[in-house]
């Protein structure tokens, strides 16, 4: 979708250990530079503690991604 002027929002489901890794942070920066809306932290999904993801699936904020794309349209 990048390069086609189509709004793209990414809502990563990740834990804090992975979120802190330099390669992940570089990827987020790169995607943002290309205009991708990254919905993590206050704007979307808060990374969970490693091993605690199962308990977060039920409350995953899908609406954040849908709202971001709708707003961009």
Q: Please state the domain extents for the chain.
A: 9-72
Q: What is the pTM of this model?
A: 0.79
pLDDT at residue number 65 = 86
Q: Give the SS3 label for residue 10.
A: strand
pLDDT digit string, tens, across residues 10-27: 999 999 999 999 999 999
Query: Nearest CA to 61 among 43, 46, 40, 45?
Result: 45
Task: Judge contact between 12 and 61, C-beta under 8 A.
Answer: no
State the first-to-last Cα distance of the chain, in angstroms, to the nearest integer. Answer: 14
pLDDT digit string, tens, across residues 55-68: 888 888 888 888 88
């Amino acid at each position: 979708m990048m390069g086609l002027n189509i709004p793209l929002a990414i809502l990563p489901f990740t834990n804090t250990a992975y979120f802190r890794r330099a390669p992940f942070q570089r990827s987020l920066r790169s995607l943002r530079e290309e205009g991708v809306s990254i919905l993590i932290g206050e704007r979307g999904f808060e990374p969970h503690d490693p091993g605690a993801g199962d308990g977060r699936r039920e409350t995953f904020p899908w609406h954040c991604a849908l709202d971001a794309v709708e707003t961009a349209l």
